[in-house]
Amino acid sequence: MCICFLQRVLDHLHVILCVTPLSPVLTILYKSFQSVISHSTINVFDEWSSKALCGLAGRKIIEHSSANNDLNLSKVVYVRRIYTTGV
C-alpha cells in the first residue's frame, strides 16, 4: 500500500519554482541542483498587468475551489500582491 502511494506521488509530482532571472537565487539553484535545472522546462514570462493577473488568478482559483467568493477574492488579491511586490 505504501509503495503504491509513493509510486503514484513520484509519477504525478510537479514542482513549480518562480524565480526572477535577475536574482542570485537562480544562480544558487543552478549550482546546487544542476540535474533538476537541466531536466526542467524553463518558461520566461513578461510582466503582467494587474488586471490581467487578477482575471486569470480569479478564474483558476474559482475552478479549483469550493470556498465562497469573498475567500476567493482575497486569494486573488494575495496572488497579485506576491507577483507585484515579491512579498
Cell (9 digits) for 7: 509510486
Q: CB–CB of 30/19 below 8 Å?
A: no
What's this model's pTM, rounded to 2 decimal places? Answer: 0.35
Residues 6 or more apart in contact with residue 30 via CB below 8 angstroms = 37
pLDDT in tens, 14-71: 877 777 766 787 788 778 888 877 777 777 777 777 777 777 777 777 777 665 666 6
Show me where the domains of the chain are located: 1-44, 45-87
Place of cell 541542483: 33
